[in-house]
Amino acid sequence: MRNLIGDVSSAARILPDLNGQTLFIKNGKGAYLWDDQGRRYIDTALGFGAVLLGHANNIVNEQVAAALADSAAPSWAHVREHAAASALAAHTGALSKVIFTNSGSEAVHLACRAARAYTGRARIAKMAAGFDGWFDDVSFGNVSSSEASFADGQRPSTPRTTLLRFNDFEDVDRLFAEDPDIAAVILEPMLANAGCIMPAPGYLLHVQQVAHRHGALVICDEVLMGFRLHAGLAGLQAGLDPDIASVGKAIGNGVPVSAIVGKPHILAGFEEGRVLRGGTFSGNPIACAAVISTLAQLDDADYRRLIERGEALRAAVETSFKAQGILVSTSGYGNVFGIWPSAKAPTTYEEALMFGDATFSKALHLALREAGVLLMPSPYGRVYLSFDHDDEVVEAMKAAFAVAASKLASRFAR
């Protein structure tokens, strides 16, 4: 009997069997993972966006090992925590105060607590089909849930959470006209877990302006996109002025660490002891060592070249499928994008529901896995690239997609 439910501790890791075999990963290095049979794969999940420098980065590993040797849990203030906070705050502009957590879900939860404490209001507005963690409050309205698609006048809400339709300008105004109890709006730079739906021009700024006009805060959920487009927050790059941001994933290159960063007056309640925070492992030496060593390398990383390689891969994917008579489009950025079996990428979640095809996504996953590339099998999955996905790796990915397109032609060509 297997004691681990479903073979995994997070449902996102569940993969279909291939030729009757379940995939178990043994180790990883750079752009690659190896399974328990010794087979090598190019990885495009990369810790669901956490591994930006490449698996088992030598510098990060050395610093983490040194922190582990010093003591993984010294209980009290330790020598690495201030240094990690300063390294992070150096990249986040006016969001200069830092609290470390262990997961992105914890960080979003803490950001929501901060917003409620500062405003005295109860409800958080999040994007329908957005993923802001798996805790009860913000898992409401997640992608594929019954609440995520709704008509005007039927806005799904709970006492602590309400939903907004992504890219619907008028829905933002309606929300604040209906509800005076909004403490904050959670914004993602793009609706990543719904397949990388890009924001319409001006949409994110519109949400921010309306929220601030009504006394609500703006929380940028950067757990997935932070440090992926440049060494900093995607929201700041887009011209936003958030009050709080949640960060994680890429700041530790796969080592479990997240944080909130915020404006000093917004987070003052924590500093003064009026708002609760905790966590035995929050800001632990291993996590802080990972942050310090990861951010130092990202400061010197060539983001422009990485994104260019990814854009070339996106174009090659679309071309390979078109050559086989299969309409495919992509959405997102060069180093994180979704693949859609449709003539165009969706601009709303309603379109994503129409364009997504679970049968196609599973078939593509299996065909690529046979060709040595690991891809999320979900219609809303994403392709990630790390800095170790160099030209040679990307060329191999292009070839694998061409093979997969050929295999899928008999089933999906139109």
DSSP state letters, 318-351: HHHHHHTT---EEEEETTEEEEESSSS--SSHHH
Which pLDDT score is estimated for 278? 87
Could you confirm whether domain 5-53+302-412 is CATH 3.30.360.10? no
Using the CB atoms, write b or e for 76-97: b if 16+ within 10 Å: eebebbeebbebbbebbbebbb
Domain residue extents for the chain: 5-53+302-412, 58-298
Q: Which amino acid is at 413?
A: A
Question: How far does CA 13 lie from the centroid of its chain?
Answer: 15
Q: What is the mean pLDDT of residues 271-300?
A: 95
Residue 220: strand, helix, or coil: strand
pLDDT digits (tens, 9 = 90+) for 146-197: 999 999 889 999 999 999 999 999 999 999 999 999 999 999 999 999 999 9
**H/E segment holding residue 410:** helix 391-412
Cα separations in angstroms, 137 against 107, 182, 194, 366, 380: 13, 14, 19, 34, 22
Q: What is the mean pLDDT of residues 303-321?
A: 98
Q: Which residue, among 189, 273, 268, 282, has the nearest Cα to 228 in the 3D structure?
A: 189
Question: How far does CA 150 lie from the centroid of its chain?
Answer: 24
| pLDDT class of 231 with cuts at 50, 70, 90 | very high
Residue 247 has pLDDT above 80, yes or no: yes
Whole-number Å distance between alpha carbons of 90 and 339:
34
Within 8 A by CB and 6+ apart from 120, the residues are 183
Q: Give helix then strand counts, H and E, for the chain.
A: 14, 14
Residue 10 has pLDDT above 90, yes or no: no
Which residue did the predictor score with more confidence, 152 or 50? Answer: 50
DSSP state letters, 177-206: HH-S-EEEEEE-SSBGGGT-BPPPTTHHHH
Neighbours of 175 (CB within 10 A): 25
**H/E segment holding residue 148:** none
CATH number assigned to the domain with residue range 58-298, chosen from the 4 options 3.90.1150.10, 3.30.365.10, 3.40.640.10, 3.40.50.150: 3.40.640.10
Using the CB atoms, write b or e for 273-311: b if 16+ within 10 Å: eebebeeeebbbbbbbbbbbbbbebbeeeebeebbebbe
Matching CATH topology for 5-53+302-412 and 58-298?
Answer: no
